[in-house]
A and B are shown apart, each in its own frame.
Chain A
């Protein structure tokens, strides 16, 4: 009896897990080096980002889109093109104090910044960036 109940639940959970893994996750980590500094670690399933945007009031999204609008087609094109390329280090800049890396790893764009002040890591699925850009582009400009 228990197996009859648990198998569909387990199946649905596995399918949900496969979907989330396939979509990837948005990860943001900021660690300030100073004593008492900020340590922010955020891990969000990417599948939730476009869905979450639907919950934001249209007016707020339109306002936010005004500045970004000229660059949305660029973000969309870059995301689509990068997604089909092999893993690669796109940009690396290092000096005595800072080290910045932008790389493509799997379906993710990964940005790492290391400095004496802080360490920042941002990674997000390229597909999500494209979807967000498309979603914002489809909004009519704020009147």
Chain B
């Protein structure tokens, strides 16, 4: 009987250690990036991705592969489909609120604007076969952070930090007749 007491003590101490480790791990709230793809057709394709921004912030600097190094993307010519992306973002950052680009073509309408601290891009396809709508809404603090590295670099880690510090926000919505894509940031760890 005398020996049962130390054994019980050891068991209680071990259980307490397990519980305290678990509760310490669950203590901090986090910001999450969500991607949700829903397809309305019969095949019912569905994608859900929930990534904590802190995970991306810690993991990105460890990846050194091709253009991504230490959390920064090198853009040799800073050129995407003939558009100087960095110069474009720099110009938008420096400009006042308002609509910068509005192109109404036969196939699609494109509007780029800056409004209340956000860069907004709206694309609406007007084809007979497609009425896709794309809405992109990026906080300018994130754009600034993205451009905070050198001339030929985009700082992804700084952008993620800025995104984490921002309020809940819808970043991208793509809708067409069959599918919906949403990318957003909030403090929940589920995409529902």
| Chain B contacts for A68, CB-based, 8 A | none
**A106 at interface, CB cutoff 8 A:** yes
The answer to whether A90 and B50 have CB atoms under 8 Å apart is: yes
The answer to whether A86 and B47 have CB atoms under 8 Å apart is: no
**B102 at interface, CB cutoff 8 A:** no
**B94 at interface, CB cutoff 8 A:** no
The answer to whether B46 and A77 have CB atoms under 8 Å apart is: no
Option from B14, B28, B46, B189 in Cβ contact (under 8 Å) with A92: B46
Q: A22-B18, A96-B43 are in contact. Are A90 and B49 (CB under 8 A)?
A: yes
The answer to whether A74 and B46 have CB atoms under 8 Å apart is: no
The answer to whether B62 and A73 have CB atoms under 8 Å apart is: yes
The answer to whether A11 and B7 have CB atoms under 8 Å apart is: yes
The answer to whether B25 and A11 have CB atoms under 8 Å apart is: no
- Kindly provide the distance from the CB of B29 to the nearest chain A CB, expressed in whole angstroms: 9
Residues 53-106 of A at the B interface (beta carbon under 8 Å) = 70, 73-74, 76-78, 80-96, 106
The answer to whether A81 and B52 have CB atoms under 8 Å apart is: yes
Tally of A-B Cβ pairs under 8 angstroms:
89
- Kindly provide the distance from the CB of B6 to the nearest chain A CB, expressed in whole angstroms: 8
Which of B18, B42, B58 has its CB near the most chain A CB atoms (within 10 A)?
A: B58
The answer to whether B11 and A84 have CB atoms under 8 Å apart is: no
- Kindly provide the distance from the CB of A8 to the nearest chain B CB, expressed in whole angstroms: 8
**B190 at interface, CB cutoff 8 A:** yes
Option from A10, A74, A89 in Cβ contact (under 8 Å) with B63: A74
- Kindly provide the distance from the CB of B20 to the nearest chain A CB, expressed in whole angstroms: 12
Residues 15-62 of B at the A interface (beta carbon under 8 Å) = 15, 17-18, 22, 25-26, 28, 30, 42-52, 54-55, 58-59, 62
Enumerate chain B interface residues (CB-CB to A < 8 A): 3-4, 6-7, 10-11, 14-15, 17-18, 22, 25-26, 28, 30, 42-52, 54-55, 58-59, 62-65, 189-191
Residue pairs across A and B with Cβ atoms less than 8 A apart, 19 shown, are A4-B3, A7-B3, A7-B7, A15-B14, A18-B15, A22-B14, A74-B59, A77-B58, A81-B52, A82-B55, A83-B25, A85-B52, A85-B54, A86-B25, A89-B48, A92-B48, A93-B46, A94-B45, A106-B22
**A-B complex: 3 closest residue pairs judged by Cβ atoms:** A73-B62, A88-B189, A92-B48
